[in-house]
Chains A and B, each alone.
Chain A
């Protein structure tokens, strides 16, 4: 099911495969002292053509915990790319040195192309504004652990719906695990792209676009909060006007229903007040922690089939 699989889009996987992965991750998470060091001698290379700290470190930590080794391409500005080498040649070289390659690029289609030219499996660690399949696996894993199911839940997705690839990728997964309803909460300028809206309509995903989350506080099971970047606004005053509307505070938490959770792909800026961290609804640190186990399960499954 998993051996030598590429991970390019969340849509490359079905319900059965994803639930299998979550069970594997949960098993690893339950082992206090992991003795799964069966990736000894295997090399994972991270090639991040776009800045990333968390995702890169999380993949590297997952590989090291499984007994494998890691290589890193380094900053594109100091690697061979700076000398004018094309992406294709760079990826081919990495394929010769590695057993698995993790790629992030601002261009779209790079990881699919890399998978085509590489002998070894390729994992997309974020691409363009549409795909971030392993982050979505992590998001779903946290929801699955909390609700024991991924169907029929109500999501409030808050932030930059237009540009955040974590959001777009999560929305793609709603064609696999059908939610009850999805509220897309964003300033008008950052509403979902037409393509995402037609994807939801084509897949019969019930959704509603809102500019504030106040009216869904009592209804949503999962609040998926993301950062709103100032630079996305054509008018900085518009940003100043709306930024406060997308911050979750303890007052909001009080209105949330019992058992509702708040997720965030992190890093956060000010959209989640640190005071919220200790509330029982805050699941974003658990989500980040689970991310490590999810990625361990994924690497292990791809490299050993187990």
Chain B
């Protein structure tokens, strides 16, 4: 990230999510459950120029470290994203998100008639992550398909 690109100040502690596909930052915000009423600073940069992606989105969140569950969900809408853990204005950890093979118990099946949507059944929804130009999720029980754009609507 060059100084020229940086349109907001550095954060002291927290997380920077970089290389989000352009237009998906708000999906990431939804996944993180950020409403704007929190008492920490959130900077959302959209359609920033990127050598790698052409255009990209970027999010800076002050004083928040992501949970593995959140990182897994973000990897589904932003499979090339990098996560930077910032401490004392320095990047302490940096890793690239990798979409998992399957996602269990985090996203419900979009098919209302699927056994996993039946109450009182001790069954967790399990979706296979089909990696292509865009990620698609497929319910391993009923075969229903969930597109990348629909994912945030079905988060449990």
Contacts and interface: CB of A to CB of B under 8 A. Distances in A.
Interface string A99-122: 000000111111011000000000
Given A86-B122, A87-B121, A88-B122, A109 B145 contact: no
Interface residues of B, number: 18
A106 B142 CA distance: 12
A128 interface: yes
A291 to B, nearest CB: 25
B120 A86 contact: yes
Interface string A215-255: 00000000000000000000000000000000000000000
Contacts of A112: 140-142
A86 B142 contact: no
A56 interface: no
Interface of B is mostly: loop
Contacts of A83: none
Interface string B130-144: 000000000111111
Contact of B141 (A86, A87, A109, A195): A109
Contact of B115 (A109, A130, A195): A109
A294 B93 CA distance: 60
B122 A108 contact: no
A101 B125 CA distance: 23
Interface of B: 109, 111, 113-116, 118, 120-123, 139-145
Interface of A: 9, 86-88, 105-110, 112-113, 128, 130, 195
